[in-house]
Chains A and B, each alone.
Chain A
Amino acid sequence: MRSKDEALSLLDRALEAATTAGCDAADAALLSRAGALTRFANNTIHQNVAMESATLCLRAVRGRRTGCVRTGVLDDSGIADAARRAADIAAVSAEDPDFPGLVESPHAEPCGVFDPAAAAATPAQRAEAVRAIIACIEGGGAVASGSLSTGSDTLAVANTAGTRQFDRDTGVRLNIVAMADTAAGCAEFYAQRLGEMDAPERAEFALKKCLDSHGAGEIEPGEYAVVLEPPAVADMARFLARLGFNAQDMQQGRSCLQGKLGEKVCDERISVVDDPRDPAGSPFAFDGEGVPRQRVELLAGGVFKNVVHDTRSAAKEGVASTGNGGVPPNPYGPHPGTLIISPGTESLDELIGSTPLGLLVSNFHYTNVAERSTCTITGMTRYGLFEIVDGRVARAVRNLRFTQSVLSALGEVQGVGSARERLGPVVAPALKVGRFRFTGTSDH
């Protein structure tokens, strides 16, 4: 992996080459990754890989014309070739009247968590953890599958207006599935530090879910009160972020929160913030355009407070980017980097205990947008669906398909869990929702 000086020096050479090629301005990003992933299924390691990569993303600017090149050839001739090609594309492209130009962003103090142990984790270390997981799950009478990945990422961004940023982090992700016939349980773990991983504890969790969901009975689709465990809540939150908080979508009139800025859009127990420096999430100092990431309140007490911006959407409104842009070009617009959902006061047992009749949902699977304007999504339940009767988990039931507006569900919140899980870019508690719509069944 390149050091900060090496990465920024490479970007300087790319910017200089773009200028030499006749560009008015240019910006460049260097994404470097070194990662490894050990995958297991049927109680054995079946795939085990490692990869190093580095990609230079260079955008050449001529007036309001731009051209972009991405290359993994990072020697001097590769950089020069990329610059020439980007300049050539910009020269013959059409003008983009909404191109906001390049500006100097203030220095963003790095905040990524870099754990040398995670960066240097060996295949033997990963295999040792996997063997422990397999032993636990197999010992419990189930079959283990999953993956354990370790690695590091760096991002450096510079432009000819004077922006120079560098940050790096490490990542550890563990996914465990225990299966017995068609019953299954899952446990996930995300962190920056390898030492925080407790693989046996996660394996025990997945095994218990699997054993609890064995012998699932039939249940009719329909409307139920639900207790959604954090993985299901995180899945919903990702769709709300995608369809609701993007300033570009708002400007185009197609956000699911269109016209509702400042209005109450869900239960007052729901607050969500995009906080790039919250250690509970995935701290990182700046976005793909080199703009320092800001803390943005998205929902506060159920009120829709803000959208997120990149430089393009911000320029349209005469405001500053919130640091939510992708590496250019990014026609999809800005996106929240992390979603931190505020915790409530109730334990999972208390959320279940206050439910006379309903369903406990462990996870969702293959969720997709069914209708944008209402943020209606559809997907299946997975890794354990349980019927709640008189405040107790009464039995496992077969998976159901749901088709449900996220906004409507968040409007029906009756309780928020006090414990939260980090699930990729989302930190989520459990939620109790008064009404949730299930629309189909499956065979397991």
Chain B
Amino acid sequence: MKELLERALDAAAAAGASHSEARVVETTQESYEVKNGAPVAAVHSAGEGLGIRVIVDGAWGFAAVPDLDRGGAERAAQQAADIARASATAAREPVRLAEAPQVNGTYVTPHEVDPVAVPVERKIDLLMRAERAMQGQPDVRITQAFLAVLRKRTHFANSEGSSYDQTIIECGGGIAATAVKDGESQVRSYPNSFRGNFATAGFEYFSDLALEAEAPRVAEEAEALLSAPTCPAGRRDVVIEGGQLALQVHESIGHPIELDRVFGTEAAYAGTSFLTTDKLGAFRYGSEQVNVVADATAPAGLGTFKWDDEGVPAQNVPIIRAGEFVGYISDRESAARLGVASSGAARADGWGRIPLVRMTNINLLPGEWTLDDLLADTDGGLFLATNRSWSIDDRRVNFQFGTEVGYEIRGGRLGQLYKNPSYTGITWDFWRSCDAVCNEKHWKLYGTPNCGKGEPGQSAHVGHGVAPARFRNVQVGVVR
């Protein structure tokens, strides 16, 4: 592949490129779903192709082809250069890139068991057993078990002499029970909603999820939700558990800190960010309990790698320190505009897409509390768990989330179950109301494998480490 990449870079230079970077990406994915006793999806996917991004006349061009041969590489390079020349006709300032160290090397996600190599029959059997263990509740009409694995090998080279061969291995899955009665449906999931939880890890990660053992509880809770009262509206103290808090971090911290979004490059699609550059080092994002990093080095995080898709090494970057906003995530172009080094967050969705500023692992660092102590200290509050719905405005200010379950907190324990809980707020007010974060014992990484951004659309795999946390005086229960 190295020769093919060099051929592409040479062709780009010959076409007038002042900078170029080429990636060959080979992807193997498997996706399984067992539903109501039968495997409804067992899919093996394989794809490969070459993408090359160039700067000609100070402007960007990119082209991608599935043909991994000399002709394909040369054709893509020429097409990218032609596109860049067209870009230059509507450019104001030449593209500038922040300096980046030259890197060379090989990386493979640490793992014990190659998930692609695990026999298909074993995968389906594990799902069938987990799915079967959810059956038996009278109104649970839909039972599902999911498994997904990914092996993505990227061969990278740029015109500055950097090159690498990086293989990312991912694995994960989950279960969901849907109870249905009189036109109403209620879903309960484990270990997270929307097909489960995911990590950069081998098959051991999926085995450790112990789906079959959790299945009866999941089904019972789905059944119980049908007869539970609707979560009452009002302002409440809430304790938010990991899966939901991960998405809260994702939407109201992870996206606003994307520096390309701050500079307006997503304005016509997902929007901009309230977090303008004048706020860097001068904005109280949250309470003193709120400490957040963007850590692409976190073991097993879904946003963990060795180098990003511009060849910049993975980093652990402070974002919020004791509530103060201190850093963005960036690529080389946006970082240059701010006069800083790239945070190593340029990530592309395969060979056919350009790198964009994407989250790595945006982690809320653990605090001091045990969950038992926190519940005991939150009498009359609500415990909200597992995302069901999400929405946030185009500057990442007003958000609204729904969760699968809510529980009244009484006497240090979870009491009355509520269905259809939801809560809403303003990003900075919400994070400033955080007065407790649970400790490392409760801290866990969640993987979001479907973070959407960009045109053409890209789906990124990102992570969020969180522990349950408490937020004071939150508006709850707005659906009805």
Chains A and B belong together in one complex = yes
A interface with B by C-beta (< 8 Å): 35-55, 66-73, 82, 85-86, 88-90, 92-99, 122-124, 126-128, 130-131, 134, 143, 145-147, 149, 175-177, 179, 182, 184, 186, 252-254, 258-259, 329, 331, 365-373, 376, 378-380, 382, 399, 401, 403, 439-444
Q: Residue of A at shortest CB range from B180?
A: A253
Collect the chain B residues with CB atoms within 8 Å of residue A45's CB: 59, 86-87, 89-91
Q: A69-B46, A365-B271, A443-B274 are in contact. Are A42 and B120 (CB under 8 A)?
A: no
Determine if A134 and B394 form an interchain contact, defined as CB atoms under 8 angstroms apart. no
Collect the chain B residues with CB atoms within 8 Å of residue A73's CB: 46-48
CA distance A376 to B422 in the complex (A): 13
CA distance A134 to B92 in the complex (A): 12
Q: How far is the CB of B183 from chain A (nearest CB, A)?
A: 4
Determine if A126 and B86 form an interchain contact, defined as CB atoms under 8 angstroms apart. yes
Determine if B185 and A253 form an interchain contact, defined as CB atoms under 8 angstroms apart. yes
Query: Which residues 76-102 of B have a CB within 8 angstroms of A?
Result: 79-80, 82-87, 89-93
Q: Residue of A at shortest CB range from B47?
A: A72
Query: Which residues 266-304 of B have a CB within 8 angstroms of A?
Result: 266-271, 274
Collect the chain B residues with CB atoms within 8 Å of residue A143's CB: 264, 267
Determine if A440 and B424 form an interchain contact, defined as CB atoms under 8 angstroms apart. yes
Determine if B185 and A372 form an interchain contact, defined as CB atoms under 8 angstroms apart. yes
Q: Residue of A at shortest CB range from B92?
A: A44
Determine if A49 and B62 form an interchain contact, defined as CB atoms under 8 angstroms apart. yes
CA distance A438 to B248 in the complex (A): 22
Determine if B41 and A380 form an interchain contact, defined as CB atoms under 8 angstroms apart. no
Q: How far is the CB of A161 from chain B (nearest CB, A)?
A: 21
Collect the chain A residues with CB atoms within 8 Å of residue B370's CB: none
Q: A41-B264, A45-B90 are in contact. Are A50 and B64 (CB under 8 A)?
A: yes
Q: How far is the CB of A227 from chain B (nearest CB, A)?
A: 21
Q: A42-B264, A47-B265, A48-B61 are in contact. Are A439 and B89 (CB under 8 A)?
A: no
Cβ 8 A contact of B268, one of A93, A146, A439, A440: A146
11 contacts between A and B (CB under 8 A): A41-B268, A44-B92, A48-B87, A50-B62, A67-B120, A89-B120, A97-B37, A99-B38, A259-B183, A373-B183, A403-B479
CA distance A381 to B165 in the complex (A): 45
Determine if A43 and B46 form an interchain contact, defined as CB atoms under 8 angstroms apart. no
Q: A71-B47, A252-B142 are in contact. Are A371 and B479 (CB under 8 A)?
A: yes
Greatest chain B CB density within 10 A among A47, A53, A143 is at: A47
B35 in the interface, Cβ–Cβ < 8 Å? Answer: yes
Q: A89-B120, A92-B124, A401-B424 are in contact. Are A378 and B44 (CB under 8 A)?
A: no
Q: Residue of A at shortest CB range from B390?
A: A368
Q: Residue of B at shortest CB range from A55?
A: B47
Collect the chain B residues with CB atoms within 8 Å of residue A70's CB: 43-47
Q: A440-B400, A444-B395 are in contact. Are A48 and B62 (CB under 8 A)?
A: yes
B interface with A by C-beta (< 8 Å): 33-35, 37-49, 51, 59-66, 79-80, 82-87, 89-93, 119-121, 124, 128, 141-142, 178, 180-181, 183-185, 263-271, 274, 352-354, 389-395, 397-398, 400, 402, 420, 422, 424, 426, 454-456, 478-479
Q: How far is the CB of B75 from chain A (nearest CB, A)?
A: 9
Determine if A96 and B40 form an interchain contact, defined as CB atoms under 8 angstroms apart. yes
Q: A41-B265, A92-B119, A444-B397 are in contact. Are A331 and B40 (CB under 8 A)?
A: yes
Collect the chain A residues with CB atoms within 8 Å of residue B354's CB: 47, 49
* Given A48-B59, A94-B34, 20 additional A-B pairs, CB 8 A: A36-B83, A47-B62, A48-B86, A49-B62, A52-B66, A55-B47, A67-B42, A68-B43, A70-B46, A72-B47, A72-B49, A92-B120, A93-B121, A97-B38, A128-B89, A331-B41, A371-B420, A382-B394, A401-B400, A443-B398
Q: Residue of B at shortest CB range from A49?
A: B62
Determine if B44 and A85 form an interchain contact, defined as CB atoms under 8 angstroms apart. yes
Q: A94-B39, A123-B82, A134-B90 are in contact. Are A35 and B46 (CB under 8 A)?
A: no
Collect the chain B residues with CB atoms within 8 Å of residue A54's CB: 66
Collect the chain A residues with CB atoms within 8 Å of residue B90's CB: 40, 44-45, 127, 130-131, 134
Determine if A42 and B263 form an interchain contact, defined as CB atoms under 8 angstroms apart. yes
CA distance A331 to B131 in the complex (A): 15
Cβ 8 A contact of B60, one of A47, A146, A444: A47
Collect the chain B residues with CB atoms within 8 Å of residue A253's CB: 141, 180-181, 183, 185
Q: A45-B90, A47-B60, A92-B124 are in contact. Are A179 and B267 (CB under 8 A)?
A: yes
Collect the chain B residues with CB atoms within 8 Å of residue A382's CB: 271, 393-394
Q: How far is the CB of A58 from chain B (nearest CB, A)?
A: 10
Collect the chain B residues with CB atoms within 8 Å of residue A184's CB: 267
CA distance A3 to B173 in the complex (A): 39
Collect the chain B residues with CB atoms within 8 Å of residue A126's CB: 86
CA distance A70 to B82 in the complex (A): 32
Q: How far is the CB of B187 from chain A (nearest CB, A)?
A: 9
Cβ 8 A contact of B456, one of A51, A52, A85, A254: A51
Collect the chain A residues with CB atoms within 8 Å of residue B93's CB: 44
Collect the chain A residues with CB atoms within 8 Å of residue B60's CB: 46-48
Determine if B391 and A149 form an interchain contact, defined as CB atoms under 8 angstroms apart. no
Q: A52-B65, A55-B47, A131-B90 are in contact. Are A66 and B42 (CB under 8 A)?
A: yes
Collect the chain B residues with CB atoms within 8 Å of residue A85's CB: 44
Q: Residue of A at shortest CB range from B181?
A: A253
Q: Residue of B at shortest CB range from A59?
A: B43
CA distance A92 to B127 in the complex (A): 13
Collect the chain A residues with CB atoms within 8 Å of residue B66's CB: 52-54, 72
Cβ 8 A contact of A373, one of B48, B51, B80, B185: B185
